[in-house]
Amino acid sequence: KNNVSDLKQLAARDYADILQCCIPVFDGLLPEPYNSDIMSLLYTCASWHGLAKLRMHTDMTLALLQSETERLGTQLRHFAEVTCEAFDTEELKREVGARQRRQAKKCSKGKGKARQQTPESEMPESGPKKKKYHLRTYKHHSLPDYVHNIREFGTTDSFSTEPPELEHRKPKRRFVRTSRKLFVRQLARIERREARVRRIRQRLYGKTKRTKQDDEGMPGPEIHHHMGKTENDWLEMGSFLRDNNGDPAIKAFLPKLKSHLLPRILSILKGQEGINVESLPSPGTCDADEVLILGKHNRIYEHRILRVNYTTYDVRRDQDMINAHSAHCNIMVLSRDQSLNDSDPGALSYRYGRVLGTYHAKVIYNGPGRIDYQQHRIEFVWVRWFDEVGREGIDPNQRRLPRLRFVPLDDDDAFGIVDPSDILRGCHTVPRFSRGQVHTDNSGQSNLARDALDWKEYYVNRFVDRDMVLRYHFGYGVGHVYSHMACPAQPASSPTGAKVNISPQLQVPGTSPTSTIRLTPSGSQFIHTTHSQPVSLGAHHDAIPEHPEGRTIDNVGSRSTSNSDSESDSSSDREDDDDEEEEEGAEEDLSDICDEELAVEEMYE
């Protein structure tokens, strides 16, 4: 499967994977207007495939799938009648060889005179045959039935053939362990033996409590993100700035960092006891360089991996791992275009960036209203921003993938500091190979930005998974809380005059109607709001709805009970009885397995 063009030994899932990422590869292969037709057809196929495989459908998504089905039929007919007729297509070399072998085998089946009397029309042809694309197949004619079947029987994952096809691997592996004689009975016994061993293992180890060491470093699904606690890899700011003097990425790094940290540490101080909130300054009235101190030897601490948890369209929790030193280093955050009206569907969109590093700092506040010199751990991400090319990413009528390019290195907004709570999730960017690289000799201008291998443009793969498909259809994903707009946005300003856009206030499921959140702007390092108790994007933009009773596991465990001692004694007695029964059941299962093994050995002997 190394050469995709050969299409050898590919299953349906392999074709699906190829469809999800082949659009950048086909770009520019054919002349116009056929290139545009092919790109539009591939986009429609990928969009239809992503919508058809959704695990949760609503009336809106089904209507969207119906429109995509109609568009797909129109483009397939245009492809067969116009695009394919403009090219002479013929068999591949491997197809010619396979056909010749089949025909030669068919001609050699006779004996004696029968073999000699084979007509010339059945003799293998030496050259390749012409091949034409047509729509006379069942798969094409069954496309309009998907919407009806989903309404009638449920989502496609409930009646797909993929689960039984994957399950078919297990009996194949078990067959090797049989004697090839009376293998049906042996396969059944192997399956029963595996089931018993699985139950025994679950009884013995299923209820063992995980230690704190096992859970160390692993984030819970309810939190937004997780960054390591270690402080082994550190950067001393003075040495870091001197060693990289002249690098475009380091331009105004420290002022940007402190300007980003100031409003965050002020919000932390406002939540502490003993702080006079009125004595604290606003971020725009004080100099961040004077009131902030990077504690512990003026250091920042680097981490390799940032784990970001998010809620998918079908209200499940998933996780992306962001590593600045790997291919999984691109992120997406919310952004608002000030040039558009709030009613414009493209006003609220995404901005993309490449993570250059994930850090945390021990920050000390030394400004008005302080009561101590306590260090506060604040996490941040250093990002190199992309600029969007065209309107493909925010205009649903554009049947193209969103196109990006890096902001020029000499631009003041080429780099920025981002709160990890503002990250929606990781994204998949693919180079636009038809445009080529920026530096043909692989000699970049910045070692920190790693621009030596930059491409002139990139595509955002919006079909990388089903969750990403619905993120570009605002309001269609049930779990995408940020896309359910409740009121227009209110613009804000930053201390330096940079444009800061606050996205709409959103109501979080499970909260009161007056409980709203403000989405953090993605394109700026300064976040300000006049709300008395602001809620950050990372805390609730993909919040999990609470139980109807409003109780969590913690407050359920903290309920006061009058007979706690007697209940604990009786519960411990019941646990002891359960343990004894489990041990007896485990011994019985083990004895059954031993008896079966002996019986099988006697049968073979």
Q: If you write DSSP's letter for every residue of 268-310 in order, what string do you get? A: HHHTSTT--GGGSPPGGGS-HHHHEEEHHHHEEEEESEEEEEE
Confidence at residue 318, expressed as pLDDT on a 0 to 100 scale: 93
- If we measure between CA atoms, which residue out of 415, 418, 351, 413 comes closest to residue 378? 418
Go through 80-97 and write b for each residue having 16 or more CB atoms within 10 A of its CB, e for each that does not. beebbeeeeeeeeeeebe
Calpha distance 589→586 (Å, rounded):
5
Burial classification of residue 393, based on how many CB atoms lie within 10 Å of its CB (0-12 exposed, 13-18 middle, 19 or more buried): buried
Go through 279-292 and write b for each residue having 16 or more CB atoms within 10 A of its CB, e for each that does not. ebeebeebebeebb
Report pLDDT digits (tens) over 226-282. 999 888 999 999 999 999 998 999 999 999 999 999 999 999 988 888 788 888 888
What does pLDDT average to over the chain?
77
- Amino acid letter for position 233: D
Confidence of residue 293 (pLDDT cuts 50, 70, 90): confident
- Amino acid letter for position 23: I
Please compute the mean of the pLDDT values over residues 405-431 and round it to a whole number.
94
pTM of the model: 0.74
Residue 397 has pLDDT above 50, yes or no: yes
Confidence of residue 568 (pLDDT cuts 50, 70, 90): very low
Confidence at residue 1, expressed as pLDDT on a 0 to 100 scale: 53
In 10 A of CB 493, how many CB atoms? 12
Confidence of residue 205 (pLDDT cuts 50, 70, 90): confident
In this predicted structure, which of 101-105, 116-120, 266-270 has the lowest mean pLDDT? 116-120
Domain ranges of the chain: 4-87+136-167, 170-204, 221-544
**353 close to 333: Cβ distance less than 8 angstroms:** yes
Please compute the mean of the pLDDT values over residues 319-345 and round it to a whole number.
80
Contacts of 274 (CB under 8 A, 6+ apart): 371
- Torsion from C-alpha of 323, 326, 332, 333, nearest 10 degrees: 30
Q: Please report, in angstroms and rounded to a whole number, the separation of the first and last CA atoms in the chain.
A: 44
Contacts of 601 (CB under 8 A, 6+ apart): none
Residue 42 has pLDDT above 50, yes or no: yes
Confidence at residue 486, expressed as pLDDT on a 0 to 100 scale: 38
Peptide bond into 33 cis (omega under 30): yes
In this predicted structure, which of 110-114, 412-416, 547-551 has the lowest mean pLDDT? 547-551
Confidence at residue 77, expressed as pLDDT on a 0 to 100 scale: 95
The partner residues of 336 in beta bridges, in order of sequence, read: 348
Looking only at the bridges linking them, the beta strands covering 516-518 and 505-507 are: antiparallel
Site of tokens 């089904």: 62
Confidence of residue 206 (pLDDT cuts 50, 70, 90): confident
Confidence of residue 221 (pLDDT cuts 50, 70, 90): confident
